[in-house]
Amino acid sequence: MEQIKSKSIVLGLTGGIAAYKAAELARLLIKQGVDVQVAMTDGAGHFITHTTMQALTGKPVLSNQWDGSGNGMAHINLSRAADAIVIAPATADFIARLAHGLADDLLSTMCLARNCPLLIAPAMNRQMWESAATQRNIAQLKADGVIVLGPDTGVQACGEEGMGRMLEAEQLAQGVIGSFQPKLLAGKKLLLTAGPTYEAIDAVRGITNRSSGKMGYAIAQAALDMGAQVTLVSGPVALAAPAGAQLVKVESALEMFDAVKKLVAASDIFIGVAAVADYRVAQTSAQKIKKDGGNLAIELVPNPDILAYVAALANPPFCVGFAAESENLRTYAEQKRRAKKLPLLAANLAQKAIGADDNELILFDDAGEHVLPRSDKPSQARALLSHIIKLTMTNKL
């Protein structure tokens, strides 16, 4: 998180209903130590007031070319002082003007005059997003080096559903933070598993665990921030996939195993974060098993060990395992690492980690153990990846 502290960001708002999310985005960035200066188009003022954004940032909102500058060059002064410009929401019209270099107000002129990164968060109706013109404009902006955050799919203000919805404020904040991360994993392909698995008993019942998937999803986001190509094989969770990750949804351990087998050959790094069920039901029922007052006997059979399979491949990727223990953490974790011949294993106490927003990890490798003090899971994810990078530098992945 050090890369984002004390950074200066211009947060630009254009005229879309998603402008309300910019208020939360500003709050989240300021919470991380970012200096936020808001600039708004006239259209944005129809959706959120200057007063709201000024109250959140503690600075007057700028919207006029002649605001905030004694020399009449606010667009130059502001763009030179900024470490990045973030446009959220970015409407179809504003995207088109950016793509064609049109500049007739403070915000568009600032973007054209900038010498800092530009990030945009598209927000529009699904048909506007899918139109050939918008896709041409987005392709041009990407070719020009503009970072495009989103959009997402979902229910839109017009009542329709589809692609074009602006990312949520928390996702945008992560994207902005990630843009400042050194791209130490650029060109690397990372495959990871996350979340629980669900082993069906019958049509309505199953065996699962309390894994939230937060740690795995945090690692996926951190890896994206560091420039990796990320494939996330996820069990059932209530989390939004990080923008930019290839998401493969699975339920059972066998489905997760099949997905990993298909994808692992193309991976440089494999991280097994998922809490995979050790056992599954031998015979599942297609219908709900009716209660008859007696005991119900269920035969359980072992599930495949996904991590052990990957580590035992003839040419495996760099393998990282996770161990969630309830006792004897160090002993069991190191035993697991050695048994599966892993170069690195991250361990934590299950009762203190599952479902929590923060965590303490102990990393075990051939050099010994390394404690990552308790902190939020995104910070732990970045620390874990930094350790992986150190270990793999000599291996030249």
The structure's pTM equals: 0.76
Mapped onto helix, strand or coil, the DSSP state of residue 289 is coil
pLDDT of residue 79: 65
Burial of 349 by CB count in 10 Å (0-12 exposed, 13-18 middle, 19+ buried)? middle
Contact 60, 70 (CB under 8 A): no
pLDDT of residue 356: 65
pLDDT in tens, 239-283: 888 878 999 999 999 999 999 999 999 999 999 999 999 999 999
- Greater confidence (392 vs 236) lies with 236
Q: What angle do CA 154, 157, 159 make, to 5 degrees?
A: 75
pLDDT of residue 359: 79
pLDDT of residue 75: 59
pLDDT of residue 113: 87
Tell me how far apart the alpha carbons of residues 259 and 41 are, in angstroms, rounded to a whole number: 46
* Catalytic residue list contains 158: yes
For residues 21-43, average pLDDT: 93
pLDDT of residue 354: 67
pLDDT at 130 over 80: yes
Domain boundary assignment for the chain: 8-179, 189-393
pLDDT in tens, 46-91: 999 999 999 999 999 988 876 555 555 665 667 677 889 999 999 9
Question: Which residues face 372 on adjacent strands?
Answer: 361
pLDDT in tens, 343-359: 999 988 765 656 667 77
DSSP 65: T
pLDDT of residue 339: 93
CA distances from 338 to 88, 98, 272, 347, 389 (A): 48, 55, 16, 14, 21
Contact 13, 53 (CB under 8 A): yes
Q: Which CATH superfamily is domain 189-393 in?
A: CoaB-like (3.40.50.10300)
% of residues, the chain, pLDDT over 90? 63
pLDDT in tens, 97-123: 999 999 888 999 999 988 899 999 999
The architecture that CATH gives domain 8-179 is 3-Layer(aba) Sandwich (3.40)
pLDDT of residue 140: 93
pLDDT of residue 154: 80
Mapped onto helix, strand or coil, the DSSP state of residue 322 is strand
Question: Which residues, other chains included, contact 82 with Cβ-Cβ below 8 Å and sequence gap of 6+?
Answer: 8, 9, 10, 37, 114, 116
Q: Give the confidence band of 395 by pLDDT, cuts at 50, 70, 90.
A: low
Mapped onto helix, strand or coil, the DSSP state of residue 39 is strand
pLDDT in tens, 175-193: 888 888 888 999 999 999 9
